[in-house]
Structure 1
């Protein structure tokens, strides 16, 4: 059985860095990276909690595969939107969008 402190600390660091990246950045690509860090932190927490559950919750191993697949599709769509905005405005600064 694994100790929960390590995965919880890693998940907290990933989510903290992601939130800081989303709130502090103006660049659309870096905001997208922050969102992906938050998603990665939640996946680490999901797998760690599932691995230490007394019933050995089987979905904790399979569910991250679906989340990673959906996250990859989300990145493709978000990068397409960012690229289109760059072509129209010449910048991906999010302050200029308003």
Structure 2
């Protein structure tokens, strides 16, 4: 495993996530695509920390921080999605015109 392989994998995951965000109509699918993008960023952080950093432990802090922020983001986003589903009975992004009311 080299740095180039890790960066290529990270790029592929980010591309899949961006494609998923642009093509999905369901809010849960969009949320999963955002998580794929964050996982690609985590691989990138960990790869550069492993291959280029003087202290690899210091570079491992970034993926842990991203995972913590991601867990908080998922909790808030799922609460919003559940609330929207209970109110509107659908999760189609294009059919939702307003968030209030």
**TM-score (normalised: structure 2):** 0.89
Q: Runs of 4+ in structure 1 displaced over 6 angstroms?
A: none
Kindly tell me the number of residue pairs found equivalent between the two proteins: 97
Unaligned runs of 5+ in 1: none
Pair 54,93 (structure 1): closer, same or farther in 2 beyond 3 Å: closer
2-11 or 75-84: bigger deviation: 2-11
**Alignment-derived partner of residue 15 in structure 2:** 16
**Alpha-carbon deviation of 1:58?**
3.2
What CA deviation, in whole Å up to 9, does each residue of 1:15-70 have, x standing for no partner?
Answer: 01100010000100000000011111011001101111152353211221121011
**Contact 2:53–2:59 at 8 Å: present in 1 too?**
no
Distance 1:31 1:43 in 2: 19
Distance 1:20 1:54 in 2: 31
Distance 2:72 2:86 in 1: 21
Unaligned runs of 5+ in 2: none
Distance 1:14 1:21 in 2: 10
Pair 43,54 (structure 1): closer, same or farther in 2 beyond 3 Å: closer
**TM-score (normalised: structure 1):** 0.91
**Alignment-derived partner of residue 69 in structure 1:** 68
- Residue 36 in structure 1 maps to residue 35 in structure 2: yes
What secondary structure is seen at the aligned counterpart in 1 of 2:90? coil
**Alignment-derived partner of residue 58 in structure 2:** 59
Pair 46,54 (structure 1): closer, same or farther in 2 beyond 3 Å: closer
